């Protein structure tokens, strides 16, 4: 049934239709555009699971699309040799608890034990629970740091990583066979709980997660009890675990931003609750002006990203970028572990192809093997899994990506803002003991930001014949004035302008990290090819939240990615 009006009418005619869904459908009666937008496609399922606007229809996040996805997941698990047990968590977003409950009902009806956290918890706590409880999969209901109108359904494999492309394709194939009204098995929640098919994850699991984070301490803790912090969970899930960790560390001078302390799916203080942007951290910065802390820490709603601000030496506070903090923490971990004799043989650090080039000289300085992966922390998690499979899990010492994701241990397989809180506090205290600040330590990485990133967009864009990307001519001009003067031609035009005028490709020298252009300029550049100097092994997904088509310049040895970047970033 492809006609959107037919789908609309079928949904509206369902007996016992959810009241909120029915009310929305009734409200758009006769509005062809509104009906089409809700029914012209199904929400896409991929390695990040589902993500979309909350509402009625096949192209929305609602209890029917969640049930359908879960039935597909259940069919996939029951056809596999994986444990028939799934861990479930949710964050503070609207309908999070409802979607988690519906997930549990479908799993229970399919003979799969659903293990639910009793309240909202961070995404890394879900990754932890999957392995801790011996589950075959995990589901976290979250849309990370997207605006309040979104929710999502992130699926994890038995290894605690987000699912692989192969697993996602198998689950999608199962989902596509299902009618969301006729083919979904659904258990009564209370009856399934009484029968032991839906169980509550006990407090020990979460406490052991916090302890596992605490066990990742690198230094001796000297001076950490003197730290003065302002913390914001951005109305999300981080407060409980972060406060438990800070108590273990002995950090007692903590002021929580009151407007952002309690879970609130409306995120009333900022439309985009992302610690990467100043607007989300503004309330914290304002409180810093009154409290004068050593650190401002902010975790996003599902507590897997961590943002930081420090005194700027001029009476204010300066936000530290994800690349800067990644380098600070890498350097701190390496120097401290070497000093204390805890550095393993053949240590490995992992980052992504879109993260700063500064990681390479730092790793080289300390004799650390640096591995670069495709964009997405699941690829860093895969590297941890590979080391574990080789019997050398201790080789992994740190992983980071420029989008404020950090992890220093194998306790989880996703970025962990609780772990990041530990590391940032440890590093700040250690450098304070040396008479230095985090701001001083991040200065060397600043030249990597700014114009070089914009140049990356242009350079990357010009590595593919324009006939293969007709929209390029209209997309690039707003960026052209930002191209540095060294790349101007004798005729007064930049090489980029010359290429656009002739529709001929220009090949400029590129660096491995230049793919970061997609991350920084995604809202301006909707689709740009990204050069992958690492070779064919880097073929795959690049832009956060993007779906990529891979091509190769025949006979030239150039590999590129066409990435259609959207507003949804990787979870």
Q: Which residues are catalytic?
A: 144
Give 268: exposed, middle or buried? Use CB within 10 Å, 0-12, 13-18, 19+: exposed
d(CA 324, CA 444): 9
User: Residue 560 phi/psi, 5° resolution?
Assistant: -135, 165
User: Residue 549 phi/psi, 5° resolution?
Assistant: -115, 130
H or E element, residue 22: helix 19-27
- Report which of 227, 235, 224, 226 is spatially closest to residue 257, judged by C-alpha positions: 235
Helix axes 417-433, 322-340, angle to 10 degrees: 70
Mapping DSSP to helix (H, G, I), strand (E, B) and coil, where does residue 129 land? helix
d(CA 124, CA 118): 16
How far, in Å, are 74, 513, 561 from residue 186 at the CA level? 12, 47, 42
Q: Which two tokens stand for residue 293?
A: 């802390």
d(CA 87, CA 140): 8
278 Ramachandran zone, left/alpha/beta (phi>0; psi -120 to 50): alpha
CB atoms within 10 A of CB 434: 10
Alpha helices in 157-275 (DSSP H): 165-175, 189-194, 203-214, 238-249
d(CA 295, CA 293): 5
- Report which of 345, 331, 335, 326 is spatially closest to residue 399, judged by C-alpha positions: 326
């Amino acid at each position: 049934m492809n006609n959107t009006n037919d789908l609309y009418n079928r949904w509206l005619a369902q007996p016992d239709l959810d009241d909120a869904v029915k009310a929305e459908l009734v409200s758009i009666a006769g509005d062809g555009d509104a009906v089409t937008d809700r029914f012209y496609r199904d929400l896409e399922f991929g390695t990040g699971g589902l993500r979309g606007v909350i509402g009625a229809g096949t192209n929305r996040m609602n209890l029917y699309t969640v049930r359908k996805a879960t039935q597909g997941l259940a069919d996939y698990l029951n056809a596999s040799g994986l444990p028939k047990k799934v861990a479930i968590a949710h964050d503070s977003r609207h309908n999070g608890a409802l979607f988690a409950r519906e997930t549990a009902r479908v799993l229970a009806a399919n003979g799969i034990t659903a293990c639910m956290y009793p309240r909202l918890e961070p995404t890394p706590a879900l990754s932890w629970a999957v392995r801790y409880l011996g589950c075959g999969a995990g589901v976290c209901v979250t849309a990370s740091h997207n605006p309040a109108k979104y929710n999502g359904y992130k699926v994890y494999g038995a290894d605690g990583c987000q699912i692989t492309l192969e697993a996602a394709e198998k689950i999608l194939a199962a989902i596509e066979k299902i009618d969301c009204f006729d083919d979904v098995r659904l258990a009564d929640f209370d009856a399934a709980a009484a029968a032991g098919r839906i169980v509550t994850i006990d407090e020990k699991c979460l406490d052991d997660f916090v302890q596992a984070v605490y066990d990742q301490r690198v230094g001796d803790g000297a001076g950490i009890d003197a730290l003065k912090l302002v913390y914001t969970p951005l109305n999300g899930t981080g407060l409980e675990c972060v406060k438990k960790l800070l108590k273990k560390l002995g950090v007692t001078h903590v002021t929580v931003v009151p407007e952002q302390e309690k879970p609130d799916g409306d995120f009333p203080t900022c439309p985009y609750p992302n610690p990467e942007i100043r607007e989300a951290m503004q309330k914290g910065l304002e409180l810093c002006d009154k409290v004068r802390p050593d650190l401002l820490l902010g975790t996003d709603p599902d507590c897997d990203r961590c943002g930081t601000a420090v005194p700027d030496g001029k009476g204010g506070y300066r936000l530290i970028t994800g690349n800067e903090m990644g380098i600070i923490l890498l350097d701190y971990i390496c120097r401290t572990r070497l000093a204390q004799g805890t550095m393993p043989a053949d240590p490995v650090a992992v980052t992504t192809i879109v993260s700063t080039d500064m990681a390479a000289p730092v790793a080289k300085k300390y004799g650390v093997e640096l591995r670069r992966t495709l964009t997405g922390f699941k690829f860093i998690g895969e590297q941890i899994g590979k080391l574990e499979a080789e019997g050398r899990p201790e080789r992994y010492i740190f992983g980071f990506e420029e989008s404020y994701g950090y992890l220093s241990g194998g306790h989880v397989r996703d970025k962990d803002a609780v772990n990041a809180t530990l590391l940032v506090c440890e590093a700040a205290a250690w450098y304070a003991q040396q008479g230095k600040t985090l701001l001083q330590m991040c200065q060397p990485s600043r030249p990597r930001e700014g114009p070089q990133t914009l140049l990356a967009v242009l350079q990357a864009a010009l590595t593919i014949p324009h006939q293969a990307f007709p929209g390029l001519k209209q997309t690039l001009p707003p960026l052209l004035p930002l191209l540095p003067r060294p790349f101007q031609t004798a005729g007064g035009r930049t090489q980029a302008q010359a290429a656009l005028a002739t529709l001929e490709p220009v090949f400029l020298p590129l660096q491995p990290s230049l793919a970061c252009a997609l991350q920084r300029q995604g809202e301006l550049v909707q689709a740009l090819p990204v050069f992958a100097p690492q070779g064919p092994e880097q073929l795959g997904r690049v832009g956060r939240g993007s779906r990529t088509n891979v091509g190769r310049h025949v006979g030239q040895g150039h590999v590129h990615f066409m990435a259609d970047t959207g507003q949804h970033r990787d979870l």
